[in-house]
């Protein structure tokens, strides 16, 4: 977490498209040169344009004439902000359209349902799951190609072959593909075949990878690290946004607590808190958040009631034989019933599923 040290940002939302080269920096320098008092006064100056950001900051709290900045050519809006979530924070969204990710449009009433096995195990397994979850209303097919497993002797995933299977099954059943890139090597392949790139909980603060996700050209689903604060999740999102990718979704997937009755503790607080702090879609993962299939439905309902924009569920045709995370997988034969049970909750909070 950044040490704010009393520093504050002057955020300038520039509405002129940058003209090439490193134009934002040029803009920043031009404006700073024209307004030396601002820097002399110890004010941090952060100049941001759509998808690009540059600047520096210094501690200080001299009074600042915001109106003077708002009158400058090319400056659409100007405001002062204390924290570093400049592009992820709510003020940045104002007046900007949402985005499209895997056929789903953010900022609307319809909830995003993501479902699939923890890991891609075979063509047959994946095809059966894809058909079942598509029929029940899922839009994205999940499934691990490379798995970041705790033990080196656990199933590590089918790798590149799984990506092809995902693409094929998703295309046949009208789904989009979201799958995890566990490292830089895998990222290239995932970005090519998947519709949405997932960053896993164990990589939540892998800053080199977060920077690369900024340039990946596909939407990114960021899972919260199970040992990360919400502020750290917000900053992970800010990394991706600041490195050029405006399409970021954040996912609460449970944190490690003293409680041992469940695998992780789903942090229901995270859902409304993130909605109040960032403009990014908030997805809930009650499978990893509980680790128990019998709890998934209830926690999924709670997450929708709390304001989640989507759910990610693990589904398996035969959980007892799953190669990973079988205990938290909803059996495929139960999936449609589980989704049905969520619909009244969604309707009660003005959402559609």
| Residue span binding Mn ion (CB under 5 A) among the ranges 8-16, 154-162, 262-270, 318-326 | 318-326
- x/- mask, Mn ion, residues 66-105, rule CB under 5 A, reads ----------------------------------------
Confirm or reject binding of residue 325 to Mn ion (CB under 5 A).
yes
Nearer to Mn ion, 247 or 288 (CB): 288
Nearer to Mn ion, 40 or 154 (CB): 154
- x/- mask, Mn ion, residues 112-141, rule CB under 5 A, reads ------x-----------------------
Least distance (Å) between residue 337 CB and Mn ion = 22
Least distance (Å) between residue 115 CB and Mn ion = 12
| Residue span binding Mn ion (CB under 5 A) among the ranges 110-118, 236-244, 301-309, 340-348 | 110-118
3-state SS of the chain is: CCCCCCECEEEEEECCCCCCCCHHHHHHHHHHHHCHHHHHCCCCEEEEECCEEEEECCECCCCCCHHHHHCCCCEEEEEEECCCCCCCEHHHHCCCCCCEECCEECCCCECEEEEECCECCCHHHHHHHHHHHHHCCCCEEECECCCCCCCCCCCCCCCHHHHHHHHHHHHHHCCEEEEECCCHHHHHHHHHHCCEEEECHHHCCCHHHHHHHCCCCCCEEEECCCCCCHHHHHHHHHHHHHCCCCCEEEEECCECCCCCCCCCECCCCHHHHHHHHECCCEEECHHHHHCCHHHHHHHHHHHHHHCCCEEEEEEECCHHHCCCCHHHCEEHHHHHHHHHHHHHHHHHCCCEC
Confirm or reject binding of residue 180 to Mn ion (CB under 5 A).
no
Confirm or reject binding of residue 267 to Mn ion (CB under 5 A).
no
| Residue span binding Mn ion (CB under 5 A) among the ranges 18-26, 176-184, 262-270, 317-325 | 317-325
Nearer to Mn ion, 8 or 253 (CB): 253
Size of the site for Mn ion (CB under 5 A): 2
Least distance (Å) between residue 287 CB and Mn ion = 7
The site for Mn ion (CB under 5 A) is made up of 118, 325
């Amino acid at each position: 977490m950044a040490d704010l040290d009393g520093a504050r940002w002057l955020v300038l939302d520039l509405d002129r498209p940058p003209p090439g080269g490193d134009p934002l920096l040029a803009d920043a320098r031009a404006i700073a040169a024209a307004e030396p008092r601002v820097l002399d006064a110890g004010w941090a100056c952060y100049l941001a344009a759509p998808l690009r950001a540059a600047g520096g900051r210094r501690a200080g709290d001299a009074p600042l004439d915001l109106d003077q900045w708002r009158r400058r050519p090319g400056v659409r809006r100007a405001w002062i902000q204390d924290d570093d979530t400049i592009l992820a924070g709510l003020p940045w969204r104002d007046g900007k359209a949402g985005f499209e990710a895997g056929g789903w449009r953010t900022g609307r009433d319809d909830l995003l349902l993501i479902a699939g096995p923890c890991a891609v195990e075979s063509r047959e397994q994946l095809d059966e799951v894809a058909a079942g979850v598509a029929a029940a209303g899922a839009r994205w097919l999940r499934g691990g190609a490379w798995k970041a497993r705790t033990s080196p002797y656990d199933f590590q995933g089918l790798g590149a072959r799984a990506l092809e299977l995902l693409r094929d099954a998703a295309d046949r059943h009208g789904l989009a593909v979201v799958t995890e890139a566990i490292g830089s090597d895998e990222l290239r392949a995932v970005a090519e075949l998947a519709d949405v790139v997932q960053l896993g909980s164990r990589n939540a603060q892998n800053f080199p990878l977060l920077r690369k996700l900024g340039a990946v050209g596909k939407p990114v689903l960021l899972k919260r690290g199970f040992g990360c604060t919400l502020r750290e999740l917000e900053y992970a999102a800010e990394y991706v946004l600041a490195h050029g990718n405006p399409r970021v979704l954040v996912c609460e997937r449970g944190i490690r607590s003293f409680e041992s009755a469940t695998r992780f503790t789903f942090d229901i607080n995270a859902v409304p808190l993130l909605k109040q702090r960032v403009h990014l879609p908030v997805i809930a993962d009650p499978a990893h958040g509980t680790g128990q299939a019998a709890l998934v439905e209830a926690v999924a309902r709670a997450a929708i009631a709390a304001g989640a924009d989507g759910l990610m569920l693990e589904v398996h045709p035969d959980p007892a034989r799953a190669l990973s995370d079988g205990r938290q997988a909803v059996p495929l034969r139960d999936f449609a019933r589980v989704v049905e049970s969520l619909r009244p909750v969604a309707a009660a909070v003005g959402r559609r599923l």
